Structure 1
């Protein structure tokens, strides 16, 4: 394959470009280790759920280890998911300005090499999953069906972000599965709230490619909402806050968790007010800021768990 290792259009100036060996760069870019924001967003529902479940159990003794394992698992499995997405989308990516320099459409690695790397990442993810109880292992494996179908959704529905939400929010179930060995109503409410959040922030992200997507026939909520995006985000984010609030009520959370949710909600309002869907760079910055929103909520849930376990 080509020896060219130029970075993709929206991923310059990071550690992969400046420090990683040249032979490793295409694989690191394939798995988005040069752009970890997606891994952080996949991780947030995991950490929320782990902290909320620890609060329900009134036991934080296993929470530090769970947090670390979820961190490793989220980064590895997001990498595997991106590899799968790029394998299935390589022809479409070649027709979009922002993605045409990704490793596969740019010819930096072959499909066979990408598949081999995907398998390696999946095996690492499996090793992490096997540290948990049987119920959690089966729950984690069940998410793979959603991950497998996601790349194809943009071809058949205007709502591919819903399927992404189902996949990226799965961690909201995993925290309860790992900590309690079951999925309680608070986990289901947290899952639903996270799905609404994911649909919202990925709509913002998708506005970067709206024009190219229209040209090649790719569907998204960004194209569906268009000029109504601000109103749609208001509904989605309000739904997210209400459903996560329901999870807190069902879990018997205390004031610290509610402060975390309130700050999370304020951040989402700020996003809507700042957003200009015609400004791709701004869309990317606001999308990335959702990591901070998620961490603010996690901080509240973590303090709540520690207080309830004391």
Structure 2
């Protein structure tokens, strides 16, 4: 039998940053763009739109590289992750870290074209991103740290538009954190058996038999908090249509995860970006 040719370095690097699996980028992007629209009270301008869209992709890619380095000894024991480039040895730790650093530097260069406040907060965002992979060894619910990391585009968006981060930005971040808890708990439910065996801490393990209830409660807190903020901002009926659509998608996800099958939980996670898109679309419509 003929052997398949070895993958090129480029294809390995693209696999490392999950080029063909953009779900994580969408999960980061929608709340960030929603915050941009809210901060600007409408379209934020092409410059900021490009900066935050490209920056989101670059930082998610850099985060994947760092996460794979940090988790390489665990990932080899999980069927779904055993063949990742760093874990399998096809990409060295040094290569992965250099690629992650290069992507983060490009993202930082983009932020430099905005405001000093956004630049300052980008340093804090990077710190949280670097801490997250190691929180799985210590915290019983490391998804909370991921929630902060995946929500940090919100204060940065306000900083880029207004030159400061008002209280409402932190309220949006706090609400968005619960959405991250919801979808990353679904993700953790996929690997629960492997994580129990190798000693990784996750929200799915911590919640135990209350995992499904927990996910739905996280969705509810997220949507209720953003709905309340929308009321304060007087975003109107179009915004609530977006919230209602997101709630309907979350209810559908219940049917996917209630039996805790790997396939159902992973599908719910992969399609979660539609929840964020619905809320973003509601924000945009509410500000027209």
Tell me, what secondary structure is at the counterpart of 2:139? coil
The alpha-carbon deviation at position 273 of structure 1 amounts to 3.0
CA distance in 2, matches of 1:104, 1:142: 26
Give the match for residue 304 of structure 1: 286
- Are 1:45 and 1:170, in contact at CA under 8 Å, matched by a contact in 2? no
One of 220, 233, 247 as aligned partner of 1:265? 247
Question: Is 2:25 the partner of 1:39?
Answer: yes
One of 138, 146, 152 as aligned partner of 1:156? 138
Question: Is 2:125 the partner of 1:139?
Answer: no
Give the match for residue 51 of structure 1: 37
Tell me, what secondary structure is at the counterpart of 1:143? helix
CA distance in 2, matches of 1:38, 1:81: 10
Question: Is 2:86 the partner of 1:104?
Answer: yes
TM-score (norm 2): 0.94
One of 254, 268, 288 as aligned partner of 2:236? 254
Give the match for residue 119 of structure 1: 101
- Are 1:32 and 1:79, in contact at CA under 8 Å, matched by a contact in 2? yes
Question: Is 2:173 the partner of 1:187?
Answer: no
CA distance in 1, matches of 2:168, 2:227: 10
Bigger drift between 248-257 and 226-235 goes to 248-257
CA distance in 2, matches of 1:171, 1:92: 29
The alpha-carbon deviation at position 234 of structure 1 amounts to 2.2
Give the match for residue 26 of structure 1: 12
Higher RCO (CA 8 Å, separation ≥ 6 residues): 1
The alpha-carbon deviation at position 47 of structure 1 amounts to 0.8
One of 171, 179, 188 as aligned partner of 1:197? 179
- Are 1:193 and 1:243, in contact at CA under 8 Å, matched by a contact in 2? yes
Q: Which consecutive unaligned segments of at least 5 residues does structure 2 have?
A: none
